[in-house]
Each structure stands twice: as structure tokens, then as C-alpha cells.
Chains A and B, each alone.
Chain A
Amino acid sequence: MNAFAMSILKTVGLYLLVAIIIVVSVFPFYYAIITSLKTGTALFEVDYWITSFNFQNYWDVLQSGEFPRNILNSIFISAVTVALSLLLAVTASFALARVRFRGRALLLMTILAVSMFPQIAVLAGLFELIRYIGLYNTPWALILSYTIFTLPFTVWVLTTFMRDLPIEIEEAAIVDGATPWQIISKVFMPLMWPALVTTGLLAFIGAWNEFLFALTFTVSNSERTVPVAIGLLSGASAYETPWGIIMAASVIVTIPLIILVLIFQRKIVAGLTAGGVKG
């Protein structure tokens, strides 16, 4: 009987913990959705459930100002950054994972070190560089600067992925006299799609969320990315924060991310652990 009571207690405890974890994880975003559907004075009453169903805030944020433009900026910048990083990373990670050469370990350590750089440490130098080549206040300034964190990350993850592929898949191609480029494009690429999708998605999220460079290297409203636009959204006066509109904008840019993350759940977890644990 005692053991039975204990096991019941254990199960109840476990489910209580599970409930707490779910509520704490989900509630803030749920609350943002509730808030975004309220307007006027209803905003300033605390409600725990959906009380109004007004899409005025969504209409406002998509109609007025530069927010749609900001979304397009973010999509363009993140997509180009990821495409360029993957392009450079595929060939580089083949060399790092499949070819033995002197200094390989050192190079890998350096790449890992770059991915740990504090972004602020390169801010002054990048600022000068971007001014010098005339990219200031353009999307290309951000594409250039985001490479500093997307490239080391993609190289690192793809290298760990390629290293785990068996040597046999290459041997046949080598015997047939394939060049290294043919080996990459004909043998490895078809196998690497899952890894490329995951790595690309994680790099995309990183670029999409970046704030410091975007805040520093763009000045006009129309050139800003989504995080800066949301961070700097303000009302007519300093005392009137448009919470309804901020929450609507937040929901708009977060829902696609949440859907993507949930779809690619397992792959993302695998990608994160390849970037972290195996390192």
C-alpha cells in the first residue's frame, strides 16, 4: 500500500512539473496574442483569457509605417546570408572533414574561436569597413557582417556531419577517377540535404534575430530589419507605448519561426547538439 501511494505521488509530482513547464513556456506568447487582439482601454485591463477578437492592431502595423518593408528586408538579408554561408561552407567543410593536411586541427579551433567572438569586439572595425566600401545603411552591410557568425557555425556543423560519413562512399568515386569537386557535387551533396536544411534553418534564425549590427549599420526606417523595428517602435510620445501594435508585430514575426521550429523539431535538436556537444 505504501509503495502504491508512493508511486501515485510520484506520478502526480511528475505531471505537476510537466504542467508548470508547459505553462511557463507557452504563457508569455499566449499573452502576447491576447494583447494583440485588444484595442483602446481594453488593453489596460488584465485578462487571462481571450476577451476580444479585434484585428485592428494587425491592420495598423501592416498598413502604416515601414513594417512590411522591414519584414522583406529581414527575409532578403537572412536568405542571402544563409545562401552565401552554405556555399562557402560546403566546400570548406569537405576539405576540413575528408582531407588530411597539416594545420587542420588549428584551423578548426580558429573557426570555433571566431564563432565565440563577442560581436562588439569587431563593431568599430566593421563600422569603418562598411563606411569605407559604401555599404552603410544598405542590406549588404548586414549580409557582410552576419557572415561573422553564420559562416563559422555552418562550417563547424557541416564538418562534424561529413566526418561521420563512411569512407567507402568516397572510395568508389576515387577509383573511378572523380575529381574532388565531382566527389562533393555528385557523392556528398545528395547525402547532405538534411544537414544543409537544418544548418541553414539555424543560421537563418540567427540572422533573423540579430540586433546589434542591424541597429548600428542602418539608420533609416526603411532599411531596418524586424528586430530593430520592433525594438524601436514607439508611440506619439514617450509615455504612450503602443503595446497592442508591438504585440501584433511580435506575433506576426514569431508565428512563422515557431511553425518552422516545430516542423523541424528533431532535426534542430540534432543540429544544436552537433554544434554544441560534439565540439
Chain B
Amino acid sequence: MKSAYSELEAQRIRAAMWFLLPMIAALMLVAAYPLLRSIYFSFTDTSLSNLYGGQWVGFENYFSWKTLPSGRTIFKGTLVDPAWWNAVWNTIRFAVVSVFFETVFGLMVALVLNANFYGRGIVRAAILIPWAIPTIVSAKLWAWMLNDQFGIINDILLNLGIISQKIAWTANPDTSMFAVLIVDIWKTTPFMALLCLAGLQMVPRDMYEAAKIDGINPIKVFFKVTLPLIRPALMVAIIFRTLDALRIFDLVYVLTPNSSSTKTMSVISRENLIEFDKFAYGSAQSTLLFLMIALFVILYIWLGKLNLSGDKQ
């Protein structure tokens, strides 16, 4: 009897291996291999016109130095490239600000949706619209609304007397990052709101009733009861959003083309890879972005666990 059972189990495991094989093979082909090749390219002098003739150059694309006969030392590589560090800084700034506001607004919208009121279904449907619109379309939509000459945003702000002259939102280096942030927050807050709402709906109703009977201030209830309870859901939502924000490409590329004040790590890597024929240099930059994201994930999971165990005490 026992051996028949384990025979069955072994048969199941064998079948499972065959079921997994195509998926694993596909991921090897489209994820593992290209990733390793990209990392390899970053240590060579491969160029777009000579994809297969690259020579190994070590860390030259990252960092290298040469001492000239005159005694001056020249540093080379992406790690001493101010344009790269500008992109790193842009990306971090974008990720921190956008995720912060998306979380705050997402929570607010979720709290509204969690309340009982007439027409809740309409609001739920309405907030799905920004999420359903393709990113490129929202970039174009907002580029038109933020247009300096004919845009409706300038028109509204002028009529309200908030600004005294028209602003070139996407072209002006001082406001272009702000424009990118507005569009991203508009587009992604619904996603955050839905994830927060799913967390909120797991909080038992009688908990609010009890707090109400005890006469506790609703703001205090939110921070002492609701927030701790939905924190696991919120943490997952934040990590997904941050990872998305760190690799942002399409919105920046279409809304503010060639603006050094919004250029992110993904944008600058692709520019070097494809447009500037610095294939290996771009690979080095994309590898650095990969490392940064990997580091962030490890750190986040580690810190998240630490905090969770701290709460239980």
C-alpha cells in the first residue's frame, strides 16, 4: 500500500518536472540569457555595428584611469560620468516623490471607497480609467493639457490667478520633472488605491464600531488600528510601485524628450545602447540599474522582516 502511494507520488513529481520544463526553458531564453549577455557586454568594447567582435576590456566601461606623460590622471567610465549621476539622481528623486504621493493619495481614495455612500460603484469605475489608459496615451494627453500655448492647465491657472504668465511645463527644466510626476501620480494612484482598498476590506467592521463606541478620534483610529492592520498589504504595494518607478522609461521618453532634468537611468542607458552607438557603455549602465534594483529588493525584504518582528513584541 505504502509503496503504491509513493509510486503515485513519484509519478506526480515526474509529471510536474515535465510541466515546468517549457516554462523554465522559456524564461532561460528570454530572461536569464539576455541578462547574462548584457552583463558580459558591459565588460567588452562591443558596438552596435560590430555586435560579435567585442573584445574584453575589464572594468573600462565602469571606471578606469590613465596617467598622462604630463602627470595628469584622467578618469573614465560611467562611474565618473556626471550625466550618469544626474540620471541616477533624477530616478531616485522621481521614485521617492511619486511613490510617496501615490501611497498617500491611494490611501485617501481607498478610505473614501471604503465608506458607505451613494454612487460608490461610479467612483470605483471612474478611478479605473487612468489606470486603463496606456502610458504613452496618458503622456500625450497630458503633454497636450500642459502645452505652453494652448494647454488647458495654463488656462485654468491663469483664470484662477495662480500664475501670471503661461508656463512651458514640459520644456522648462525647472518644471519638467514636476510634469512627469503629475502624470505618473495621476496614472498610478488608482493601482495603489485598489491594493489599499483590498487591505482595508480585510479589516473587520466591528473594530471600527468598537472604536466609535469608545469615542476615539477617527484620526487616531486610522493611525492606531487601520494602518497597522493594512501594513502588510501596503508594504507589498509600495515595493511593487518603487520597482516600477526605478525602471521608468516610456513616460519620460515621450513627455519630456531629451531633457536632462528628467532623464532617468533607463532612458540614458537606452540612449547610449541604441542611439549613440555606445553599446557596451549602455550595457554597463543597465547593469548598474539592475544591481541597484536587486540591492533595493534585498534591503527592503530585510528591513521589512526586521520591522515586522519588532511589532510583535
Contacts and interface: CB of A to CB of B under 8 A. Distances in A.
Contacts of A212: 249-250, 266, 270
Given A122-B31, A123-B270, A227-B134, A129 B290 contact: no
A119 interface: yes
A277 B199 contact: yes
Interface stretch (A57-65, A91-99, A190-198): A91-99
A231 B123 contact: no
A88 B26 contact: yes
A207 to B, nearest CB: 11
A155 B24 CA distance: 11
Interface in B121-145: 122-142, 144-145
A277 B233 contact: yes
Nearest to B137: A250
B273 A114 contact: no
Contacts of B92: none
Given A114-B27, A254-B132, 14 more contacts: A14-B115, A45-B150, A46-B155, A88-B22, A89-B23, A116-B297, A123-B269, A124-B282, A151-B23, A179-B15, A231-B136, A254-B134, A262-B128, A265-B125
B3 to A, nearest CB: 16
B104 interface: no
A216 B190 contact: no
A265 B126 CA distance: 11
Nearest to B34: A125
A18 B31 contact: no
Interface string A77-118: 000000000001101101110011100000100010110111
A250 B135 contact: no
Contacts of A205: 132
A21 B127 contact: yes
Q: Shortest 6 CB-CB distances between A and B: which pairs?
A: A125-B34, A125-B37, A95-B16, A118-B247, A180-B15, A121-B290
A72 interface: no
Nearest to B159: A46
A18 B195 CA distance: 19
Contact residues of B: prevailing secondary structure:
helix
Consensus secondary structure, chain A interface? helix
Contact of A117 (B31, B126, B140, B150): B31
Interface residue range, chain B: 35 or more
A59 B288 CA distance: 46
Nearest to A118: B247
Contacts of B253: 211, 215, 231
- A: contact size bracket: 35 or more
13 contacts: A17-B112, A21-B127, A43-B150, A88-B22, A114-B31, A122-B35, A123-B34, A128-B51, A208-B134, A230-B137, A257-B134, A276-B195, A276-B237
A279 B127 CA distance: 24
Interface of B: 8, 11-13, 15-17, 19-20, 22-24, 26-27, 29-31, 33-38, 41, 51, 108-109, 112, 115, 117, 119, 122-142, 144-145, 147, 149-152, 155, 186, 190-191, 194-195, 197-199, 232-233, 236-237, 240, 243, 246-247, 249-250, 253-254, 265-266, 269-270, 273-274, 279, 282-283, 286-287, 289-290, 293, 297
A244 B30 CA distance: 39
Contacts of A129: 29, 33-34, 37
Nearest to B279: A124
A199 interface: no
Interface in A181-236: 181, 184, 205, 208-209, 211-212, 215-216, 226-228, 230-231
A24 interface: yes
A99 B126 contact: no
A160 interface: no
Given A261-B132, A273-B198, A120 B36 contact: no
A45 B119 CA distance: 34
Contacts of A231: 136, 139-140, 250, 253-254
A119 B247 contact: yes
Query: Considering residues B123, B126, B140, B265, which has the most beta carbons from chain A within 10 angstroms of its beta carbon?
Result: B140
Residue among A92, A253, A261 with the highest chain B CB neighbour number at 10 A: A92
Given A14-B117, A21-B126, A212-B266, A147 B30 contact: yes
Contact of A216 (B33, B144, B274, B283): B274
A92 B22 contact: yes
Contacts of B152: 31, 46, 48
Tell which of B23, B126, B274, B279 has the most Cβ of chain A within 10 Å. B23
A211 B19 contact: no
